[in-house]
Amino acid sequence: MKPFAWMVAGLAAKSLAFKAELVAQLKDIQDLAPRAEEAIDIAGWRDLGCWTDDANNLTLGDLTAGGYVVQRGAFVQFYDNSPTPNSPDVCQTYCQNNGYSYAGVEYGFNCLCSSRAPDQLRSGATGCSSPCPSPNNNQLCGGANRIQIFTNDKPYPYSQPKTSGLQTNWSYQGCYTTSGSGRVLVADSSNLQTSGNGATQCIDYCSGKGYSFAGTGNGYECWCDNSIQNGNTLDATPNQCVQPCAQNTGEGCGSPQRQAVYARQTKRYCGGG
């Protein structure tokens, strides 16, 4: 199951008819959610107040973009009578256990997490007055299109592209975006998902085929070429090539519409040792 499609559908689903269906779908994720007795220390979360939200353009988490180009996000629902009914504490614990630095409660039972700060334009709202689900209904959990947001002030848990310990004469060139008319590197590609991907494997692959540029993308792709193609440029926004590599999640392998680009050094150094 693609993880994000149902989450967006779930957010739009306001009716009780959808609720039973979602509960079944969400059982897997709730099994992953921390139980109260496993709750880690959630001290240190700050309340950032009430913000507006939009199901088609979420304040926390960009789910429609696959969760990586703009930011990483997660959306879970904790109903009454579930093992962990929603509350600010439950949501903060869930988000923190999953590596996020922002948590938001909305519409009572919705909990959203993000790795990036929300847009300030949406802050300072009123209307975060929905009770959390029973038995936490003595607390407030946002409202309809209103999200109460908290942060633990932790750095983003992004996976960054590998920049050191690369093959001899290869170096990281930066995160290129498809701002031009097509892909960044196009001449050859190999989906290395099954054999593990990362800068090392992609450089080996491209180098072995005689190319001087190698780029990882979309978490599992490897592209080769001899120069940057289609007029593409470096992405000026930080943290855009941070989608974890498919089988090496500690390393970033680009993202959709982005390639983490490596090149073989061709400059000759004269007069040196």
Ligand X SMILES: *[C@@H]1O[C@H](CO)[C@@H](O)[C@H](O)[C@H]1NC(C)=O
Interface with ligand X by CB under 6 A: which residues?
57, 119, 121-122, 168-169, 268
Longest dimension (CA), the chain: 76
Instruction: Compare residues 57 and 227 and give the one whose CB is closer to ligand X.
Output: 57
* Total residues found in the chain within this entry: 273
Instruction: Compare residues 7 and 70 and give the one whose CB is closer to ligand X.
Output: 70
Instruction: Compare residues 84 and 240 and give the one whose CB is closer to ligand X.
Output: 240
Instruction: Compare residues 20 and 272 and give the one whose CB is closer to ligand X.
Output: 272
Question: Taking the complex as a whole, how short is the minimal distance between the CB of residue 203 and ligand X, in angstroms?
Answer: 11
Instruction: Compare residues 100 and 170 and give the one whose CB is closer to ligand X.
Output: 170
Question: Taking the complex as a whole, how short is the minimal distance between the CB of residue 146 and ligand X, in angstroms?
Answer: 14
Question: Taking the complex as a whole, how short is the minimal distance between the CB of residue 87 and ligand X, in angstroms?
Answer: 26
Question: Taking the complex as a whole, how short is the minimal distance between the CB of residue 247 and ligand X, in angstroms?
Answer: 26
Question: Taking the complex as a whole, how short is the minimal distance between the CB of residue 265 and ligand X, in angstroms?
Answer: 6
Instruction: Compare residues 1 and 273 and give the one whose CB is closer to ligand X.
Output: 273
Ramachandran category for residue 237: left, alpha or beta (phi over 0 → left; psi -120 to 50 → alpha): beta
Question: Taking the complex as a whole, how short is the minimal distance between the CB of residue 64 and ligand X, in angstroms?
Answer: 9
CA separation, residue 242 to residues 208, 212, 255 (Å):
26, 23, 6
